[in-house]
Amino acid sequence: MKRTIHQIIIVCTISSFLVSLAGVVEAERPMTIFLERTYVDGVISQEVLNSPYMTKEEVLSAYPMWRVIKASDEEVVLRKAVDDISPMLKENGYVGLSVNGVLSTFEGKPVNSTNIIQSFFQIDVEKLESYQEELLKDGIRVQTKDDYVSLMDFYKMYELNSRPTSSK
């Protein structure tokens, strides 16, 4: 009887050790964290963090204000909407017209840049005053969310209506 109890105690001790060892191994598995930020201007930035000592649950609790896009034992993708324009637009952003008359945001002046950040809608350039068309061709500097929203709202009234109007 004593021998059986000792064997059971040894088996239980080994089992407890293996369970705790599995927890350590899980916590030390490399975890890749992707933090995606979506900005008002349509830009999505992504930051990649490697954390070899965090579990999925620890990552999720460390970023409570982020929406989970994907979560596994190896990686977690989190997304958050930022109520501002992107740092790229703040640093060197312009609103202007692309070749086809589409209102777009550019990194750099539209005349010097082919780097379109985001395209929105085609402008009816016939309705614009000549100076407004020139402003858009040269590019209008955007550094704040208010500038961006004001420009988008203003030029929305010049959107080229691609749908024919029905007559009754």
CATH of the domain at 128: 3.30.70.1740
Number of domains in the chain: 2
pTM comes to 0.70
Residues 102 and 139 both lie in one domain: yes
- Per residue of the chain (168 residues), give pLDDT as tens: 444 444 433 333 333 443 444 444 444 678 899 999 999 998 999 999 998 888 888 999 999 999 999 998 899 999 999 999 999 999 999 999 988 889 999 998 888 667 888 889 999 988 989 899 999 999 999 999 999 999 999 999 999 875 444 444
User: Is there a domain that residue 20 lies in?
Assistant: no
Residue range(s) defining the domain that contains residue 55: 28-83
User: Is there a domain that residue 151 lies in?
Assistant: yes
- Whole-number Å distance between alpha carbons of 148 and 12: 65
